[in-house]
Structure 1
Amino acid sequence: MTHHSPDRTPLSLLGLGVMGTALARAWLAAGHPVTVWNRTPARAEALAAEGATVADTAAGAVAANTLVVVCLLDDSSVGEVLAGTDLTGRDLVNLTTGTPAEARDRAAWAARRGARYLDGGIMAVPPMIGVPDSGAHVLYSGSRELLDRHGPTLAVAAGPTYVGEDPGFAALHDVALLSAMYGMFAGITHAFALVRHEDVDPVAFAPLLADWLVAMTPSVHDTAERLRSGDHTQDVVSTLAMQVAGTPTFLRTAEQQGVGTELLRPFFELMRRRLDGGGGAEGLTGLVDLLAR
């Protein structure tokens, strides 16, 4: 059983899915008194054995401590679970995945109920939670004062990164980062598909691919500078016109290798549209403005 430390902030945690359970265990291991609640009570049994206090109701969990953390399925679940609770004077930290608009609405909803609000986007998988130097961090937005007050407690689970007063910014940054991740995964998927049926060892190919992706990461900073300046032609070496001229080779190669082009064509079509609109001298950053219509 975990022994609580008297100098550790007590908190309540609502939601004991895989992520919620990992959060609870991190705080318990650090000596924080933790009150937990879950729709399915059986999920709390193991945590009770580790020192958590189990509340019979969500309202009971909220009433137990000033700091209340929710990690539920979605925004609708947050509204349903907290509907019958008294949030007056509570510090509500919402680690439920949602959209920027949902976070802004939830912040206003919490304020009407007398609670201070902080929204969070968890940039980690459960095994990383509470593990020093794992790289886990949580993006926070909303009340800076609230993050300053509870930062040491929240940092036990994962390093806090503040992204702004707008309550929707954590969710916005979260989805933006994950969208880039999925774009990378799409490229990795296509690359491995191209070599899949050749005499190419995927394990031997992997370092070449990984090193190439790392070498391309400075383009993130180049893109940011061009977007800030508004000049999409700044220091461009490979123009959009040059790149569009080369896209048929990628498509023919895929077809000859028996690989679908579903992951490439949408991006190539955007490139063609920007070119047709007069962006031939630009790099690829003009596509950002094309998408952000």
Structure 2
Amino acid sequence: MTTRIPVTIIGLGSMGSALAQTLLRAGHPTTVWNRTASKADDLVTQGAVRAETVRDAVAGTDLLIAVVVQYETLRGILDSAEGTLAGKTLVNFTNGTPEQARELAAWAERQGLEYVDGGIMAVPAMIGGPEAFILYSGSQAAFDRYQPTLARLGATRYLGTDPGRAPLYDLALLSGLYGLAGGAGHAAAMVGADAAEFTETLFVPWIKALVGILAPEVTAGSSEGSPLDMQAVVIDNIVQASRGQGLGTGTLTHLLPIMQLIVGTGVGAQLKPLIEQIKEA
């Protein structure tokens, strides 16, 4: 029988709890800590060990997994265990910026703590399932050492030794998601009472069909299949129709001047100038 390595989870919000439950089901001895100790109650009934202090949480395990609200919060938590962290590995799933990840990695190095940053591309219910995947960057030695354990949480994708790379890709993916979600919400508002049927029978199937077509165009920086000059007209029409429905137009109006500017340069079939303009906006 393969021995499962012990793991400590710091932070028991919905995601931290899902990580702990998944590791427990996989047979890993799991220690948990949260500032509000009662959040560990359910996990303790499933076999987790509740640590009373951060120092207790760190003791006896070499793999620390953290998922809290902010990097500053995590730094404050770990400060209370300073002097006991050397030789351990911190995998940090807290959402933050590339700069924050690099700063925390530098602090971890001064503690003798190996650092891996991670971006979880899943909601808590997906953890441990086939569609969950997690981005990692930072210490390759630490990632390689613990990859079999991390793979129990979701498919692993290592992006390199720069600890800021995983949070960068995480935020980029979320940017696309939030843009899509904002557009979907606006579309549903336009059709009003028919929103549920519209979303299920028209919007979602249409988006799925477009994904395979649009992906190569984004990679190539071209929009030959649907030129920007035509799309600029379409967006203007959407804005006017939305106003006619009494809706706000903030989810689209920020794109219209950029697209009109690009079309005016005579490269209306190119996607690359749109990307460049967004960089400068």
Please indicate, yes or no, whether the TM-score normalized by the shorter chain is above 0.5. Answer: yes
Residue among 254, 257, 260 paired with 1:269:
257
Secondary structure at 2:180's aligned position in 1? Answer: helix
* Correspondence for 1:72: 68
Tell me how far apart the structure 2 counterparts of residues 78 and 247 of structure 1 sit (CA, whole Å): 43
Matches within 5 A, 1:91-106: 91-106=89-104
Over aligned residue pairs, what C-alpha RMSD do you find?
1.9
SS of residue in 2 equivalent to 1:51:
coil
Summarize the Cα distance change of 1:260–1:115 in structure 2 as closer, same or farther, 3 Å threshold: same
Q: CA deviation at 1:265?
A: 0.8
Match of 1:183 among 176, 179, 196: 179
For residues 203 and 240 of structure 1, the distance between their equivalents in structure 2, rounded to whole angstroms, comes to: 29
Q: CA separation in 2, counterparts of 1:268 and 1:48? A: 53
Distance in structure 1 (CA, Å) of the matches to 2:158 and 2:177: 21
Change (3 A) 1:30 1:202: closer
Identity between Structure 1 and Structure 2 (%):
39
Report the counterpart of residue 133 of structure 2 in structure 1.
Answer: 137
Answer yes or no: is the 8 Å Cα contact 2:102–2:163 preserved in 1.
yes
Is 252-261 or 51-60 further displaced after alignment? 252-261
1:239 aligns with 2:227: yes
SS at match of 2:247: coil
Equivalent pairs, count: 277
- 1:88 counterpart residue number: 86
**TM-aligned CA distance change 1:201 to 1:87, over 3 Å:** closer
The match for 2:147 is: 151
> What are the ranges of 5 or more consecutive residues in structure 2 without an aligned counterpart?
none
- In the TM superposition, residue 201 of structure 1 has moved relative to its aligned partner by 6.4
Deviations 1:55-83 (A, max 9, x none): 22101211221111111111011100000
Q: CA deviation at 1:248?
A: 3.2
Listed one character per residue, the Cα deviations across residues 208-229 of structure 1 (whole Å, up to 9, x for unaligned) are 2112212322323311222xxx
Which residue of 2 is the match for residue 63 of structure 1?
59
Measured in 1, the distance between the counterparts of 2:233 and 2:121 equals: 38
Please, which of 15, 22, 40 is the counterpart of residue 18 of structure 2?
22
Q: CA deviation at 1:84?
A: 2.4
Structure 1: runs of 5+ lacking an equivalent: 227-233
- TM-score computed with the length of structure 2 as normaliser: 0.91
Distance across 2 between alignment mates of 1:12 and 1:201: 44
Tell me which residue corresponds to 1:251: 239
Q: Distance in 2 between matches of 1:156 and 1:235?
A: 39
Per the alignment, residue 41 of structure 1 pairs with 37
Conserved in 1, the CA contact under 8 Å of 2:262 and 2:268? no
Give 3-state SS (helix, strand or coil) of 2:188's partner. Answer: helix
Partner amino acid, structure 1, of 2:220: E
Match for 2:216 among 198, 221, 244?
221
Question: Once the 2 structures are TM-superposed, how far is the Cα of residue 246 of structure 1 from its aligned partner?
Answer: 4.1
